[in-house]
Amino acid sequence: MKPVILVIEDDQALCWLIEKVLSNDFNVTIKREGVTAMEWLLEGNIPDLILCDFVLPKITGLDFLQNLTNSGVFKEIPVIMYTSHADEQLRQKCFEAGVLEVIEKPFDPPQLIETINDLIKTAKT
């Protein structure tokens, strides 16, 4: 069975691209903003990894992550944050909040797949 990846991304074109890149190796669920992603999780869905954009409508990716880690139930899910604004201060905030990897857009698809696989393997050990 393929690992489940929850992608939180508001840009339609990027949603399409990420799904195309990841769908051969993973079951991909896409949510367009953090609130609906949290609702999906609260329905009992537990992905193997979350891939989250930093800039989202309603709440930022960092706010989503803080809600995730405060929940207790979901704090063990590995998270990759990606952004086109990755300065060192933002990267540090993400890591302090529990993000395992910060990737800059545009990202390299094969590298993204390799990073996802590595984090999922590490999380299961």
Residue 33: phi, psi to the nearest 5? -160, 165
Distance CA 94, CA 30 (A): 21
User: Model-level pTM?
Assistant: 0.94
Segment 66-114, tens digit of pLDDT? 888 887 788 889 999 998 876 888 889 889 888 999 998 888 999 999 9
124 has a pLDDT exceeding 80: no
Separation CA 103–CA 113 (nearest Å): 12
Is 4-124 in CATH node 3.40.50.720? no
Domain boundaries, the chain: 4-124
